[in-house]
Structures are given as C-alpha cells and as structure tokens.
Homo-oligomer: A and B are copies of this chain.
C-alpha cells in the first residue's frame, strides 16, 4: 500500500482524511516492521509518529527526537513533516477540522477507545468511520511462548490471577479484558519470541470474577490460545465487562457496547517490583555492567577503523556471554560524531560511519535478562574531544546528578522532577527535546509506565518505592555531536518514609575524559567519585587483569 492508493480510497469513499497511528492491536507496544503502516506508507522508520492523509496531501507528525531523521527518510515532495514540538496532533486537527463535518477514517483495531473518544470530543462535528476490521499481526514465524519462571518473578501466575479475580469482583464486574500485552505477560508469567527486543507475549486475557480465564493470541505455540475472531463471541455475553480504554482498541466497544472503562490495575502493580524481582534486577545490572565495562575497555584499545555497527555488535557479543541473557532490550544506538545528534539514531548500512576521531561516540543499549531489563547510555571520547564537547558533557552530567541525587516527597510525579534535571542546562540556555526518564519493565518493555519523567507528562503517575526509572538528560548539536548520560535507578523510601530517592542500578564508568572538573561543585564531584567507587568495587572480580587496570583508572576519583 502507498500514499496514492490511500488517497484513491479516500476519494472513492468521499472521506476527508485518514488517521494512521504507529501501532497494532496492542496499543502503545512495540511492533514489527511488517506491521508498521507508517513505515510502509512513508519510509519513516522511527518508533513514534502519526500520519494523516487527505485526498491530496500527507502529513507526518514527529517529535523532537525524530525531526532530523524524518527529513532524511521521507519523500518531502509528497509528505509534509509537522513538528510535534510546535503543534500537537490534536491542535492541528482542531485547527483544520473543528468547524467542518469532516468524514475521517481510522482502523478500529489500532486506535484505543480513549483516543477515539478524545478525537470525537475534539471534533464534535466530524464523523469517524472505521475502515478495517481484522487485527494486523503479521508474524511470519511461529512464535514460541515460554514461562517466566517463579525463581525470577517471585509469584506464580495462579496467585496473580486469583488476586486479580478478587479485584474484578470488588469492582462489581463479571469479567475484565486485559488488552495491554505487557500486563497479560505479567499476569500469565508468559513471555514470547514475537518481538526482537521485547519478550512480551502479545495476548489479551479475559478474566472472569470467579478466576477462570481465556487467552487470545495468534501465530504462536500456546495451545490454549483462542484466535481473535472468537473475541466478539466471548465478550458479547457479559453484562458487566471492564477494559482499560487507554489500551483497548476501539473495536472492543463494538463487541460489547456496555463495556466500562476501568484502568487496568496491573499497570500499577507490575511497575512496583517485588523483592525477588529487585534482587534479580540488581544482579542483571551487575552482569550488564561487566559486559559494558569489558566492551569499553575493548573499545579503548580497538576503536580505530571500527564502524558504528562494529561496536554495537561487539557490545552484544559481550552481553551474550552473561548469564540469563535473552536479547538486547532495543536496537543499540551507536552514533559517532554528527550521527549522535540524531536522538534515536540507528546505524543502517547506508549511514554506518567509521568512528570519528576527536569526537564522541554515543552508545545507548540494553539487555533483556530473565532476571531484569537494562538500559544504559554512555558517551565516550574517541581521541581528543573538543572543549565544547567536554563542556556540554559536563553540563549533561550535572543535570544527571541533580536528579539522581534528588530527594522528593511521596506523590511526586514526573513533570515535577523534570525541571530539577534540566536546571543546569537551562542555566546555559540549553535543553534537550526528549523526556528525562521512563519507567522500565521487568523482562518486558524497556519503556514501561505508568511513571515517566517529562515536562509533558503533566499529572503522570506518582512515584512509588520499588519502581524503576531511567535518568537520561542529553544535549544534541545538529550536524556536530550528541551527548546523553543514562543510568537506571530504583525508587526507594527514605529513612523518613514521607520521602523518596533514587538508588542506582546501572554499573559502568562515566567517561572522565569528557568532564571539566572546574564546572562541577564539590557535591557533584563527590557524587561521581562515590558512583565510580561503587562501580569499581562491584565489577572488579569479574574482569581480566588488563580490564581491571583500565577500570581502576576509569573509576579513580576526579
């Protein structure tokens, strides 16, 4: 399918436009490239975008991370790029369609009921017309489904389901449809090979108040699974059905018009990791830190002539040697020189650059271990970086430390924390056009809510002890270089339980060649020295003698 054929269909059906979101029936989850309609239609390969096609034009909406990338990838004569940093998709729609009885089409399997409700509220005169009625899961392989063992999860699925059924009963419901695949995976203690980086089992779970349940999934070896064409028949029979309209596709409401919007409690439950999970997460980060440090040592000796793809592959090879490693948690971003200024750059065969001398390499990567998910970014000097690079990296480090060392009351939400991180950059008139942090799943999505640290996430979920978050401020100079320093942290209660703070999980040196000590306060220097001491003491027994010498130097006090 291409834009022209969509436009032909629009004209034939007398429609004013069609909305494309980047997703499948598992709203907000990762998708396979073959499921990506926006990629198919525009060639834009980023992980977030919206596309609106009218009979004569096409508009691609991208955020700050992807503005440069979109310009490079799409046919600008056919597609106009709209910057979400300047106007939201909703504002744009409102400006163009609020006063007309527009006829707009959408795929009811890939737009959530909440999104549809919001669209209708936004454009009360418009008519929204569903145009596809089958889900679009295009796995070509037979997906393997496997158990996430109790030694990792701490709780068996049977107990999770029993407790969830009690919750359903308390709500006065007959049944609840879990549509968020990561929630289904958590509830069933099942994972799968469907996606390359996110081991979730892409399934809906229909749980009845008595604790019986049915699993809906396709293309997989999970034999009890029912196919999605049975969904309508199973949902129709309940008088009191609940589902979370933020993750339930709009089609669900056509299967059961009485379905009530009840936020899925699993979203909050699974975000707070239990003691077994936390122990695993710490261990996984230790192993990940070993792999990363071995890689950094290797890089220090071997960067000459290596490409971005070379180093990403080398890092993966180190991770693969570690216990419980399953896969990367996302496609490694290894950006050298100006490529690193593209926030979510992924080296392709065309773009793949040899590491630029006297510049920086930004490497953002992570692992899915059965006992934890990691995500870490280091910016590493290659040769002699410029004073500008060192200054900006030091400011980003100040931002990182400002938030990593923050103490904040219970009930604080992410937008309140974001400003703390950005202060050191704001003071110099600098900023970064992405969030400061995201929640992290447990052998699940590397980006997993409900909490996130973003100035745009007003009224986002409150932080609770046991949650995991990234802290990842950055700085990007177009056509020059890019910097990001990212660690994962666990949220912990203070001695005074009214307050929370962050405890670091990620264990890998932060490159001192990119730090101007004169720009740091004593407290900041102490933070870095303490962190490096912890990294060194944690990793030292897992390294070779040469690696250890390198680490000792990398972790020596400033």
Contacts and interface: CB of A to CB of B under 8 A. Distances in A.
Contacts of A417: 419
Interface of A: 405-409, 412, 415-420, 423, 426-427, 429, 455, 458-459, 494-496, 499, 521-523
A25 to B, nearest CB: 33
Tallying the copies of this chain within the complex gives 2
Given A406-B426, A415-B416, 19 more contacts: A405-B427, A407-B423, A407-B426, A407-B427, A408-B419, A408-B426, A409-B426, A416-B416, A416-B419, A419-B419, A419-B420, A420-B423, A426-B499, A429-B494, A429-B495, A429-B496, A429-B499, A521-B521, A521-B522
A346 B417 CA distance: 36
Contact of A409 (B406, B412, B455, B496): B455
Contacts of A494: 429
A426 B407 CA distance: 6
Nearest to A405: B427
B406 A423 contact: yes
Contacts of A416: 415-416, 418-419, 455
Nearest to A498: B431
Contacts of A429: 494-496, 499
A178 to B, nearest CB: 30
A420 B405 CA distance: 12
A451 B494 CA distance: 30
A405 B423 CA distance: 9
A258 B381 CA distance: 69
Contacts of A522: 521
Contact of A412 (B412, B419, B459, B495): B419
Contact of A459 (B419, B459, B521): B459
Q: Which of A407, A420, A458 has the most CB of B within 10 A?
A: A407
27 contacts: A405-B427, A406-B419, A406-B423, A406-B426, A407-B423, A407-B426, A407-B427, A408-B419, A408-B426, A409-B426, A409-B455, A412-B419, A415-B416, A416-B416, A416-B418, A416-B419, A419-B419, A420-B420, A420-B423, A426-B499, A429-B494, A429-B496, A429-B499, A458-B459, A459-B459, A521-B522, A521-B523
Contacts of A418: 416
A411 to B, nearest CB: 9
A419 B455 CA distance: 14
Report the 9 A-B pairs with minimum CB-CB distance, sorted nearest first: A407-B426, A521-B521, A416-B419, A416-B416, A429-B496, A407-B427, A408-B419, A415-B416, A419-B420
